Amino acid sequence: MQVNSETLTRPYQNNAFQTDPILSTVYGNIAKIILTQNSDQEKVRQITAIFTESINLSRSVSDALALQCLNELEKENLLLLEANNKIDSGKQELKKQNEELRSKIEKLVQKADLVQRSHDEISVNFGNLEQEKQATLQAQEQLENDNAVLTAKVQELINKEQVLQTQKIAIEKENKDLKQEIDLLKVQNGEFEVRQNNIEQQLVVLNQENQRLKERAEEFTFIDQISFVTNFSWRTFTKYNSLFMNHVVYSKPTRRKSTQGTNL
């Protein structure tokens, strides 16, 4: 894009403008902005900011300075539009935006007198912005404190998780040991059941043997009773037999003698 440097710097080089430090600074800054590689919108935004600042700094010459600057800006916009016409069709939208910006700048001239009246309101707004800034800083500080607390809580949760993980591992090991003990007890229980079945079978055999022994004992008791009766009968028989034999032995000669005497 070709820029007419003479048009841009002529007010700056004029002795009348150089006697005014504000205008000299403004046009010097405008010339620098125009020569930068920034976009047209950025240039216009920066130039508008310079105009607003110059109006706030110089109440007595604000209207004249704004009009003079707007005239120079309008000339520069014409140069920009001529340059944009040489660019491809894709830059037509930018031309439209520049036209809209020109219209806004013309409206800005009409509102230039309102700038001074809004100065106090702007100051109040700056005060409010400062308060909001302080509130934002306090909120940021509080947020940092909250983040520190949350970080500590997260670390605490991580520590608890590590403890729980350790306990989980210990519980899993204990469960594994218990499972092994249960399996061992199951094996021992199976062996115990086998032994119990063997003992029950042995008890059945012992009961049967006991029953047989009991029956034999009853038989032996009966035999003992028979033997006792037999012995008693035998002893009685022997006794009476002995008495009888003695009676026969002692009474036989007498009986023979009597018989002979009687027969005779």
pLDDT for 135-175, tens place per residue?
988 998 898 888 889 899 999 999 999 999 999 999 999 88
State phi, psi for 65 to the nearest 5 degrees: -65, -40
d(C-alpha 56, C-alpha 50), whole Å? 10
Q: Where are the domains of the chain?
A: 5-117
Whole-number pLDDT of residue 20: 65
Give the pLDDT confidence of 52-108 residue by residue, as tens digits: 777 676 655 556 666 777 788 778 778 877 766 676 566 677 778 878 888 887 887
- According to the per-residue pLDDT averaged within each range, which of 101-110, 123-132, 145-154, 197-206 is highest? 145-154
Q: Return mean pLDDT, the chain.
A: 74
